[in-house]
A and B are shown apart, each in its own frame.
Chain A
Amino acid sequence: MDVSWRAVQVWRRDFNVYRATLWTNAIPPIFEPILYLLAFGAGVGTLIGKPIPYAGRDVSYIAFIAPGLIAMTIMFWAFFETLYSSFIRMYYQKTFDAIVATPLSLGDVIAGEILWAATKAVGASVLMLGVISFFRILEPTAVLVIPFAALAGLFFAALGMIFTAICPTIDTFNLPIFLFIYPMFLFGGTFFPIDLLPPWARIVAHTLPLTHVAGFVRAVCLGNLDASLWIHVAYLAVGTPVLFILSIVLMRRRLVH
């Protein structure tokens, strides 16, 4: 495995680049979820008109979808960081090769990249909470989203790193995006309650990580704390180290020869 504290230096590298290119690279992804919120909340929400059943009560469509969009943003920011950005650093810029010539190991590099992607996910969750707080739908327990975003961010970052390790070229990223990300995005409880799905699809939905992220985020945002939250946390807490180890193993297979 060989992961050390030196991974922080990789995180610092990515952080420095991000800070230097903040205005050109970071602004569009910040506005994307806000646009979703406006389009779905104001647009589709008005069209639907009636309240959505959630945890034995009725909530407005915007109250239902806003936590789903936070979950989606956490996933996108972490996953696409280790998918595209890490791939570019690994494949085109040879940054990983340069770093492993120093006392850092490949494990440090992967860990640093994943940490950075999770950091972005946390930042995204804070930003989204800030925007959504204007809609006056959040309960105080919504702050739990922030530490949870760190865990969910690590999960999706490790997942993205796995595809970076196995995809031969950047074009082949369409496959994991089409097979994993879009189905989750659409059926992971983001836009509508998964209870509306047919039974077999509901079972499938419960295996998807985004379902658990959306489930947790919605519960704490709307103040619906119960024991089921631990299932969501457990799913991610077990999955993350498995994916992390797998990403290092696959990355070693790709780069060390």
Chain B
Amino acid sequence: MTGSATSPTRVAGASVAPEAGTRPPIVEGKGLTKKFGESVAVDGIDFLVREGECCGFLGPNGAGKTTTVRMISCVSPVSAGEIRVFGMNVTQEPRKIKALLGVCPQEDNLDPDFSVLNNLLVYARYFGIPRREAVGRAEELLEFLQIKDRAATKIRTLSGGMKRRLLIARSLINKPRLLLLDEPTTGLDPQARHLIWQRVRALKKLGTTILLTTHYMEEAAQLCDRVVFIDNGKILTEGSPEALVRENVTPDVVEIVGAGEDLLRELAAMDVKVEMLPDRLYAYTDRGQEIHKLVTERFPVEQCLLRRGTLEDVFLKLTGRELRDH
């Protein structure tokens, strides 16, 4: 979605608060490993999520993001290494940890036997929240995620976006200190996605620590103070979205369709780093304006687009362009 020809995106927004790096860690993984039989899904990673930050786990399908989140939420046993959440070991204190967590899973597991409101009320009982308190909280949350008018509706009739909003509402019913969002906007339309982003930012402002996984780079750039790139069960790099873009890609990228030999020679002469794709060419540069002008004025190409370097460029640089369907 990022870097498409029609919508140049900027790496925007979230600046890291100065004291962010010194806040106490809420989640602490050390040599965390997960094996499924012979295959290693998470390969000895070390990571921290600090209080009050929004941390993003980014990586292709099968990278190990969801597996890590499942281990943090105490539902998937750790194969080796350890995770401490709120200072407690996930293997020893799962009930205490889970009482303080909000988990929004990738897959819809709302209770289809209940209405929207009752999904929240029944879930509140699992946390031992008294009914009176649960009713007030549920109404607030339905309002917050704009599904209040559907409170009496059965789950089956909800759209994908409404189900996801309800899943988020449900994950907040116990006022969690740490919210785990596993691909919160996958498969949603832009309206639903933007509403969820807005709400996640509001939660962040209220001080909720958030760990989210995504493979939408725009989402990470919009929401995360810090992102951790994961691939093949290992951490490739981490940092603030701005810093990662700064360190890994050039400020500007010129996308050219239909470049001829002469243009390639010209770019090489100017010492511009290019990447060839089957149908287009990327020129990485800090002189975007100049190159864009040069190409459009002097070379007969089909299309020439100037955009900023993005987190998506970082992602593809670090994880490569091969497909990950397996």
Contacts and interface: CB of A to CB of B under 8 A. Distances in A.
Interface in A103-139: 103-105
Interface size class of B (residues with CB under 8 A): 20 to 34
A98 B75 contact: no
A105 B95 contact: yes
A104 B191 CA distance: 35
A95 B114 CA distance: 11
Interface stretch (A10-18, A26-34, A70-78, A192-200): A10-18
Most buried by B among A17, A94, A103: A103
Contact of A103 (B95, B105, B113): B95
A98 B77 contact: no
Interface stretch (B124-132, B211-219, B233-241): B124-132
Interface in B45-80: 73, 75-77
Contacts of B210: none
Contacts of B77: 256-257
A115 to B, nearest CB: 15
Nearest to A8: B125
A9 B174 CA distance: 16
Contacts of A104: 126
Contacts of B76: 256-257
Interface residues of A, number: 23
A1 to B, nearest CB: 14
Contacts of B95: 4, 103, 105
Contacts of A16: 114, 118, 122
A143 interface: no
Contact of B101 (A99, A101, A256, A257): A101
B111 A98 contact: yes
Interface string B92-104: 0011101101010
A104 B123 CA distance: 11
A93 interface: yes
B71 to A, nearest CB: 11
Interface of A: 4, 6, 9, 12-13, 16-17, 20-21, 93-95, 97-105, 256-257
11 contacts: A9-B125, A20-B113, A93-B111, A94-B108, A97-B109, A101-B103, A101-B105, A103-B98, A103-B127, A103-B128, A257-B36
The 6 closest A-B CB pairs, nearest first, are A94-B109, A102-B126, A98-B109, A17-B113, A101-B103, A103-B95
Interface of B: 36, 73, 75-77, 94-96, 98-99, 101, 103, 105, 107-114, 118, 122-123, 125-128, 174
